[in-house]
Structure 1
Amino acid sequence: MGRRRGPLGRSVTTRMAWLAEGSSAMVVTPIASGSLVLLISAFIDPLFGLGPLLGVLLLCAASWLLLRFRDPPRKIPQDAGLLVAPIDGRVLHLRRERATHRRPGSDAASADIFEDLGGGSWIEGACTIPFDTEQRFTAVDDECEGDVWCLRLTVGALDLQVHRAPMAGTVVAGEHRRVADGWPERLRWVIESAGRRIEVVAHLTRPRFALTPLTSPGEPVRRGQRLAFMSTTPTLELRVPAAEWCPEITLMQGANQANGQEVHAGATVVFHPLWDAEE
């Protein structure tokens, strides 16, 4: 286990082969502490019988962390144009959405900026370039140009916490936004390939013990490549243009397309291309 220079200029710990990058210290610390407490209890002082109990609890915690922060290899689908799940979890909903507001640019007039919608400053209307900046979305039943599909996933306590790229392309945006006006802390990625863009937004919670970006804007990524590791990711949203991709048929089952289907990062196909991807 060594150190290397990671994305965004930060030094990160090179991961063990079976652990998510950035999680090694969180796993090794309770293992070492628990082992030390047990040795002290066995050969020096049992601390009124509390030493063995504490040591066992620390090792149990380490076992849980080993299970939670594991990072096994995945078999990535190779068919052209497919999008794969960005994280392990279950489907909360799949719905059609439309952008209503976007983050204001430097040239936006102050009279056009809304400050009372929550989450900071907004300006009415969708981005001219898909996912050019963060947007607010609302669910719709009708169809309109510029609509997107939103696949929202919930991540369980024992699901893998490694985020993977849904498609091959170039990372054109990587944003870390803090908690603001009721909006949670979140990490946003935008990946582009052949002029087509998708957006991945991870919602984070506290306490968060680790956030390790594994790529940065301007870098090429492969489908299924690791984007980031986060110790707590309760929900994640994948948005794709409805004119470019259609959902996997199994995701369309159930009321409001919220069937609780389990997906695996980098391995489960969630969207198919509407164009001839073999060209």
Structure 2
Amino acid sequence: MINLFDTIRNTLVPIHKEGYVFVVIFFVVSLILGYFAEPLFWIGLVLTLWCAYFFRDPERVVPQDDDLVISPADGRVSHVALVVPPAELDLGIEPMLRISVFMNVFDCHINRAPVRGQVTRIEYREGQFVNAELDKASSDNERNGLVIDTPHGRVGVVQIAGLVARRIVCWVKPNEPVSAGERFGLIRFGSRLDVFVPAGGQARVVVGQRAVGGETVLAEFGSTKGPTIGRRA
């Protein structure tokens, strides 16, 4: 019963205002198609409900600790590795811990700040739309990168468009402060978020793990423990 309640609570959540126009378009198209063939209306209605679900904007309980790096999105952890950050972020040429979270078309696509700090840089780059799960998506795909100045150094966050994504939205501006878990943007219809963690941060997730935006701890500073290691069980 508790699991059923949690499922309903997490499903019936507010729709972000960015999604209103898409939900209306899907519904109007459903009505038009239904005028010609009733089965097409029901197919369109299902797609309309999916569209509303896609743009859901649930509340999250965000850990308030400057030593933690929080997941910026719902999805599956697809990469945890040391990688040179994109040149446009101006984070240097030394490898940084990169943690990637891949969002499929059923994940919540609201993007949240992984740390508290001040946005010092925002850089948009045009690009391709290959599968966002592929490693090369970080360099080849359309993307929008943010740099957040924090007590532990500069953290990079990159919104990467995916195979069917065609629109990256970012609501914050340079020199604005952000709080950990604060909504800063979204990517429409499938995508990925890369987080670049400065030296001293230890990974607290493993590849294949599910992450919850605004709640799951991706990395931690100041810990004497090594990086988290996973195994299949």
What TM-score results when the alignment is normalised by the length of structure 2?
Answer: 0.76
Question: 1:214-273: CA deviations, max 9, x gaps?
Answer: 111111111101111110343221111123x2222xx2xxxxx42x10001111111112
**In the superposition, relative to structure 1, how do residues 235 and 212 fare at CA in structure 2: closer, same or farther (>3 Å)?**
closer
Shift of 1:193: 1.9
Counterparts of 2:102 and 2:164, CA distance in 1? 18
Question: 1:100-156: CA deviations, max 9, x gaps?
Answer: x845xxxxxxxxxxxxxxxxxxxxxxxxxxx426x7x7xxxxxxxx54211122212
Partner residue of 1:198? Answer: 155
Alpha carbon RMSD of aligned pairs, Å?
2.6
Partner residue of 1:62? Answer: 48
Unaligned runs of 5+ in 1: 1-16, 42-46, 104-130, 138-145, 252-256
What TM-score results when the alignment is normalised by the length of structure 1?
Answer: 0.64
Partner residue of 1:85? Answer: 71
Q: Identify which of 23, 30, 36 aligns with 1:34.
A: 30
Contact (CA 8 Å) 1:200, 1:238: kept in 2 or not? yes
Partner residue of 2:192? Answer: 235
**In the superposition, relative to structure 1, how do residues 184 and 98 fare at CA in structure 2: closer, same or farther (>3 Å)?**
closer
Contact (CA 8 Å) 2:163, 2:191: kept in 1 or not? no
Question: Moved runs in structure 1, 4+ residues, more than 4 A?
Answer: 35-38
**In the superposition, relative to structure 1, how do residues 212 and 236 fare at CA in structure 2: closer, same or farther (>3 Å)?**
closer
Partner residue of 1:247? Answer: 203
Contact (CA 8 Å) 2:161, 2:167: kept in 1 or not? no
Greater Cα offset, 169-178 or 90-99? 90-99
Q: Which has the higher helix share?
A: 2
Partner residue of 1:132? Answer: 90
Contact (CA 8 Å) 1:203, 1:233: kept in 2 or not? no
Counterparts of 2:81 and 2:152, CA distance in 1? 23
Partner residue of 1:221? Answer: 178
Shift of 1:98: 4.4
Question: 1:2-40: CA deviations, max 9, x gaps?
Answer: xxxxxxxxxxxxxxx8123422111122224434665xx
Tell me if 1:212 matches 2:169.
yes
Q: Identify which of 217, 220, 228 aligns with 1:272.
A: 220
Counterparts of 1:210 and 1:262, CA distance in 2? 24
Partner residue of 2:132? Answer: none
One-letter amino acid of the counterpart of residue 74, structure 1: R
Unaligned runs of 5+ in 2: 1-12, 129-138, 224-233
Partner residue of 1:164? Answer: 112
Counterparts of 1:188 and 1:161, CA distance in 2? 16
Overall identity of the aligned pairs, in %: 25
Counterparts of 1:204 and 1:171, CA distance in 2? 21
Work out which of the two has the higher radius of gyration on C-alpha atoms and give 1 or 2: 1
